[in-house]
Amino acid sequence: MMNTPQPDYNMKIIPLTEQVFRWYILEDYSYERKILASIKYTRRFTGERLDPLEIKSIIEMARWAPSIGNIQPWELIIVDDPMEIHRVARLHPAGRVFEKAGVLIFIVTDPEQSPHHIIDGGSLMAYLCLAASIKGYAVMILNLNNDPVIKSELNIPPSKYLLGLVAIGKEAGASPIMPRKSIDMITYHNKYGLRR
Q: What pLDDT is recorded for position 112?
A: 98
Q: What pLDDT is recorded for position 80?
A: 96
pLDDT interval class at 39 (50, 70, 90): confident
Give dist(CA 103, CA 85) in Å, integer.
8
Most confident of 6-10, 16-20, 192-196: 192-196
Give me the half-sphere count of Cα atoms (radius 13 Å) on the Cβ side of residue 180: 11
pLDDT digits (tens, 9 = 90+) for 142-194: 999 999 999 999 999 999 999 999 999 999 887 777 777 888 899 999 999 99
DSSP H or E run through 131: helix 117-134
Domains of the chain: 44-174 (3.40.109.10)
Task: Measure the CA angle with vertex 167, ends 146 and 118; round to 5°.
Answer: 35
pLDDT digits (tens, 9 = 90+) for 46-105: 999 999 999 999 999 999 999 999 999 999 999 999 999 999 999 999 888 899 999 999
How far separated are the first and last CA of the chain, in Å rounded? 65
The letter for the amino acid at 12 is K
Among residues 16, 3, 46, the alpha carbon closest in space to that of 172 is found at: 46
